[in-house]
Amino acid sequence: MRSPLENFRLQSPLHLPDQLHHFATLGERVGEKTESQGDKEAMQARFPKTYGQPCIEFEPGKRESHASLRVGVVLSGGQAPGGHNVILGLFQALKELHGESHLYGFEGGPAGVVEGNFSELTLEVLEGYRNMGGFDLLGSGRTKIETQEQLEAAKKHVEALELDGLVVIGGDDSNTNAALLAEYFLGHGCKTKVVGVPKTIDGDLKNTYVEQPFGFDTACRVYAEMIGNIARDALSAKKYTHFIRLMGRSASHITLECALQTQPNVTLIGEEVAAKGWTLTAITDYLAAVIRKRAEAGKKYGVILLPEGLIEFIPEMRLLITELNSLKVSGNNIEALSREGKATFESLPESIQRQLFYDRDPHGNVQVSHIATEQLLSHLIAKQCSDFHPVHHFFGYEGRSAMPSNFDATYCYALGFAAAGLIDGGHSGYMGVVRHLAEAVEKWEIAGIPLTMLMNLEERKGRLKPVIQKTLVDLECEPFRYLEAHRKEWEIEDHYRSPGPIQFVGPPHLCDATTLTLKLEQSPSLCT
């Protein structure tokens, strides 16, 4: 039986930007030729058919008729709130273009495209997922499509279904898959156009053209609510120091946004740690100093935020992890480590040593995102601070499948239209985007950007591969500067801020606004 809120959200109408009220009549404006982020010649050689395509903008036009379309869709990578609404938007847009259009969902992520697992999606089915979190309509997966066999198998299935388009909803890896599929299909006489949609709670698939991937807003709101509650509890009980590790495989965008939302006593940003070369000792000394200073002020409590990816930004930990990965060190054979690696390893608590040795992924690599960095830090701090009572938290999966905020619900619906518009225009190797996200929904506009424009070559397992660049936190950006300007004050004074639960109904400034990160980046005056 559904909850009252689920029933309410299932019936809540989805809004569209003004531009999309006349979607089927939109015309296109084609921009200049584009370049990749780097390795231009090598990228051009690897993507002879799709490299350098122009950006596509949509504008009011006079188009009247469209052919029916057959389109497939796949959810890829980690869950992110709003994925179901992208599919709903895509379905709605295809039907507006032509009532006889069909949408097929590939199941279990990219593997579903390679293995040909699909079912037709009808409005009746989709309506049961409107505004719902999770990816359970189709499931998801992290299969990389890169071998000739996989590409050929995918081609066989999209051709059997006579697909005009395939929409890949995913993050950097998934959109790299989309770019490879687009190039392969075009180069092998397959008519299926491939279009990506930017998803990831991590927030690291963003740039001048992708203002914010979907899911980031909702996930940060869920975490910020919990952090706000914990801060209130700390302030009330006055006896615990809370260490809160936040998801984000590599980049610290989630931690930065949550810090802006909740104003904790200390926020560690992985990118800053790397830029300043802070060692584990330097971080421990800094945290211990703040904890002691607070204790002297009668505050034996506090809230500390750290990102999941922190551990890999700490120089000596990065070295140790690299050695463990490349040596495939196992059991208790630490003799294979370098002198530095061994010294770092021996300084770690036993629980972390065990994680480093035994918690490996299928390729034998250390599962960095599973390492309890919050416990490691509090263990080291305890050696310097007496009367210190840490409580540990990890917030990650709690936010990935939450009911999408109004922002993500609407954004995703519009992204579905962007993907449909690109396929209808015959564009392949593109990402559908929505622009002006910090403004009111009415002003948002859809566009298409070529995937190769987001790519460069990076080393993966010893070989150079074309990939979409992850965007890390820029230490010169407004959001980080804001944190920098306020963090000293937040260390000792308690300026905790409680954003509270996600609101679906009420005044727009409570319900529809998006992240402080985006507002600070686009329009700092909106943050007052």
Q: Where does this chain bind ligand FBP (CB under 6 A)?
A: 77-78, 80, 171, 200-202, 247-249, 308, 369, 400
| Cβ closest to ligand FBP, residue 302 vs residue 307 | 307
Residue 440 backbone phi and psi in degrees, to 5: -65, 150
| Cβ closest to ligand FBP, residue 46 vs residue 400 | 400
- What is the amino acid identity at position 286? Y
**What string of DSSP letters covers 177-208?**
HHHHHHHHHHHTT---EEEEEEB-TT--S-SS
Interacting residues of 476 by C-beta distance below 8 A, sequence separation 6+: none
| Cβ closest to ligand FBP, residue 17 vs residue 110 | 110
| Cβ closest to ligand FBP, residue 98 vs residue 470 | 470
Q: Closest approach of Cβ 67 to ligand FBP, in Å?
A: 34
Count of C-beta atoms within a 10 Å radius of residue 65: 7
Q: Which of 440, 524, 473 is nearest to 202 (CA)?
A: 473
Q: Closest approach of Cβ 364 to ligand FBP, in Å?
A: 16
Please indicate whether residue 202 is annotated as part of the active site: yes
Q: Running DSSP on this structure, what letter comes out for residue 504?
A: S
| Cβ closest to ligand FBP, residue 23 vs residue 395 | 395
Q: Closest approach of Cβ 200 to ligand FBP, in Å?
A: 3
Q: Closest approach of Cβ 199 to ligand FBP, in Å?
A: 6
d(CA 252, CA 241): 21
| Cβ closest to ligand FBP, residue 81 vs residue 499 | 81
d(CA 344, CA 483): 30
Residue 65 tokens read as 């008729």
Q: Which of 2, 4, 15 is nearest to 406 (CA)?
A: 15
Q: Closest approach of Cβ 441 to ligand FBP, in Å?
A: 24
Q: Closest approach of Cβ 292 to ligand FBP, in Å?
A: 32
Could you tell me how far CA 124 lies from the centroid of its own chain? 29
| Cβ closest to ligand FBP, residue 36 vs residue 200 | 200
CB 139 within 8 A of CB 105: no
User: How many CA atoms lie less than 13 Å away from 438 in the CB half-sphere?
Assistant: 15
d(CA 299, CA 292): 9
d(CA 374, CA 54): 45
367: enclosing H helix or E strand: none
| Cβ closest to ligand FBP, residue 211 vs residue 491 | 211
202-234 core/surface letters (b: 16 or more CB in 10 A; e: else): bbbbbeebbbbbbbbbbbbbbbbbbbbebbeeb
CB 390 within 8 A of CB 378: yes
CB 504 within 8 A of CB 12: yes
3-state secondary structure of 468: strand
- What is the amino acid identity at position 396? G
Q: Closest approach of Cβ 362 to ligand FBP, in Å?
A: 11
CB 408 within 8 A of CB 169: no
| Cβ closest to ligand FBP, residue 248 vs residue 416 | 248
| Cβ closest to ligand FBP, residue 194 vs residue 220 | 220
Please give the C-alpha separations between residue 221 and each of 6, 12, 247, 504, in angstroms, as whole numbers.
18, 20, 13, 12
Residue 473 tokens read as 């936190």
d(CA 345, CA 352): 9
Q: Closest approach of Cβ 185 to ligand FBP, in Å?
A: 23
Interacting residues of 461 by C-beta distance below 8 A, sequence separation 6+: none
3-state secondary structure 11-38: HCCCCCCHHHHHHHHCEEEECCCCCCCC
| Catalytic option among 202, 408, 424, 512 | 202
Q: Running DSSP on this structure, what letter comes out for residue 161?
A: T
- The sign of the torsion formed by the CA atoms of 95, 96, 100, 102 equals negative
Residue 322 tokens read as 């690299």
Active site residues per annotation: 202
